[in-house]
Amino acid sequence: MRRFEELKSYATVGLLYPRESETREVRSLDGIWQMLKGEPHGPFLGVFEEWYRQSLRQTKLKLISMPVPASYNDITTDKELRDHVGTVWYERNFFVPTTWQKDRHIWLRFGSVNYVGLVWVNGEQVVFHEFGQLPFEADVTRHLKFGKENRLTVMCDNRLSKTTIPPGQVITEEITVSGKVLTQKSRLDFFNYAGIQRSVHLYTTPLNHIHDIGITTSLNDNATKGRIEFCALINDKENEPIPESLIDVKLFDRDDNEVKITKSLNANCSQNFVGMVVIVDNVNPWWPYLMHPEPAYLYKMKVELYDRKKKLLDAYRLPVGIRQIDWNSTSLMINGKPIYFRGFSKHEESEIRGKGLDYPLMTREFNLLKWIGANAYRTSHYPHSEESMQFADEQGIMIIDECPAADMYSFDSDKVLGNHLYAWKQLTHRDRNHPSVIAWSIANEGTSYVKATNCDPDQPRECQLAQYLDIIGLNRNAGKSSKIVEKWHKVFNKPVLTLEYGVDSLEGLYMLPWSIGSEEYHGEIFIQHFKAFDQLRQKGWFIGEFVDSFTDLKKDRAFNKKGVFTSNRQPKMVAHLLRQRYFALGKELDNSTIPKDLYPYVTATFGKHDASEL
């Protein structure tokens, strides 16, 4: 058995989202898989006994039917599985058609396995990957049986340590009824859901193919011309020679009409990458929701690879939003217009499926974001699914994209810094082409000897990280600490925003006068924050407010009830208050339209508002 380290997939090239085309086929391996729970005190027993050599049924251990994608924790009624610390094993069989046998690569791609995934095809190791919530893939062509049944085996390990991203610690606890059990300890304010949590795909590419595409966009001064710079990597290894080929690009509008463009060679591409600069006249820029009458305009870019005889070798299409991001000491701007964020620190979690990809749930969440008048969210505290990023592009919702370095104990070791760097590179590589990604968040609430985030702005030497940031985001209730927020801008001369503020409330608990935990209390705390935010906005450098959190969450043996929405995506009372604020800000700052139902009718002279009154 080869060492895991030899199989690590830390790709910062490739990993294009699987899309069908004239030259590519995609098959989903989602569905019901078979799963068994590993021995908590012997997590690698299955590796040592080589369970992957044959069907898991041969182990004689209990198999569980398990949906993929989904977190396994809340699917069954088994408490031990919900709280399991260690490894689980997944398995499914699949066919590969004989038509796939010649002149193509076949790739096996996972959207996410949390936290570690080790994969075998027909008993042969193909890939090892760390860092949950990030995709990985392997060329499995030589491991497949064409026209026959193949077996796919995955070992998933959910254990966190002091050097993982995010960190944690496995301890043994003495429980009277159950005896000694392993427990995962961390400072995370969300549950450590695990399993194959996003889709699994099998897809093909030609032998000579487009393996990677990176794009950047910008606008001219009056936003009438758009510029797209793209670089494409041919084949699957950076050190392989580029065949005699020709890259071409076409651009289509949202109605699939080809757009007239001007093309030239892109001289800024690195070795083995080829690319073009594309100029678009009369461009339709990508705008966020409520900042423009026609937000979220996406073009479709088709990249084609030809040989010298003009034979099409490969074709790949991807959505492109053309926008320009700029910033200075007081503002963050999109297409020359200052941004004021109105959003949430949003987790990717729900009942039953945990952190599993769920299209109806995702659609519901974006409907709620637009209903409440939000224009942004932060991917707290880990990368969200690729599908949700695509949906944000389509809906015009801005994203602050966060590395999974949440609640770090320390950044002081080379191991931790190396893992953080790997996770950061994979995240930025995966999401760099999304117009919705407006900013990157490198960590959340870390603690180290330099006091990277929990530091006093009066002591700038102790806040070494802040000097390297473009924007400073604070997790701080601003109602009582506006002066501290002001100090951060004064010391570092950079835009500041609040990334987390909020309070717990229990849905359906109403008390007058209000008391802690009631829905009235939730609203009262928000009103105090609104006043503080408005005072900060007058300073000219405060650029946004994010509620913590979007929905109620599950924690280790407890619950986080800070959500504006319940765990089943229904509004608490405070949601209606926040909706009024967000749409009022949209009207004030971006001249957006006020919904007719924002202020319900009370009498002919009270409670009946229109946009002109705001």
Q: Which residue has the tokens 């100090």?
A: 487
Could you give phi then psi for residue 12, rounded to 5 degrees?
-120, 20
| Residues with active-site annotation | 445
110 Cβ neighbours under 8 A, 6+ residues apart: 117, 119, 129, 135, 136, 137, 154, 196, 198, 200
Q: How far apart are CA 611 and CA 592, in angstroms?
A: 9
Count CB neighbours of 231 within 10 A: 19
DSSP state letter for 249 = E
DSSP 138-195: EE-GGG--TTSEEEEEEEEE----TTSSS--EEEEEEETTTEEEEEEE---SS----E
Structure tokens at 493: 């001369």
Q: Torsion over CA of 549, 550, 551 and 557, rounded to 10 degrees? A: -30
Contact 70, 353 (CB under 8 A): yes
Both structure tokens of 553:
């969450």
Q: Answer for the pair 410, 187: CB distance below 8 angstroms, yes or no.
A: no
Do 305 and 312 touch, CB atoms closer than 8 A? yes
CA angle 430, 436, 438 (to 5 degrees): 90
Per-residue tokens: 359: 């299209």
Return all residues near 328 (Cβ < 8 A) that are at least 6 apart.
none
